[in-house]
Amino acid sequence: MKRLVLSIVMMTMVVPAVVFSQEFEREERDRRMDMRAGEMEMREREMRLQQRQAEMNLQRERQELELEERRIDLERARNAVKYKPQLLLLLVLVVHILCAVWVYQDIQKHTGESGIWVVIALLTGLLGTLVYAVVRLGGSRKKNA
């Protein structure tokens, strides 16, 4: 009977220890699984963050390229405008000189008068040449009449 009591006492001591150790192992496994789940969640968050950063970098680079393209277009427009006034000035100068040459040749051919009309045509261009032509036509009509 002592053996029976001793084995019962031993069983009552061993069984809770075994149950406790099994429960401890389950809790330990659950804790490890929770840690792994947490690590997985952290990795997923880091991956999403890296993806967002990559998207933002791509978007920033696109904006920088668009801005650079606009700067180039603006610079081209500025360069185009720079040459137009010079070209226009050159064209006006050539027209004035051609008008003065025509007036000089016409004066030498018809009347041989003074060159005041050449100076007027040189300074005023087409307007002075037009006035000279009207005056000359008026003068030639008076001679014919």
Instruction: Note the pLDDT tens digit of each residue in 19-29.
Output: 667 777 888 88
Each domain of the chain, given as residue ranges in start order, spans: 2-144
Instruction: Give the total residue count for the chain.
Output: 145
Query: Two tokens at 19?
Result: 């149950």
Instruction: Note the pLDDT tens digit of each residue in 79-116.
Output: 776 666 778 888 999 999 999 999 999 888 887 776 78
The whole-chain average pLDDT of the chain stands at: 84
Please measure the distance between the N-terminal and C-terminal CA atoms of the chain and give it in whole angstroms: 169
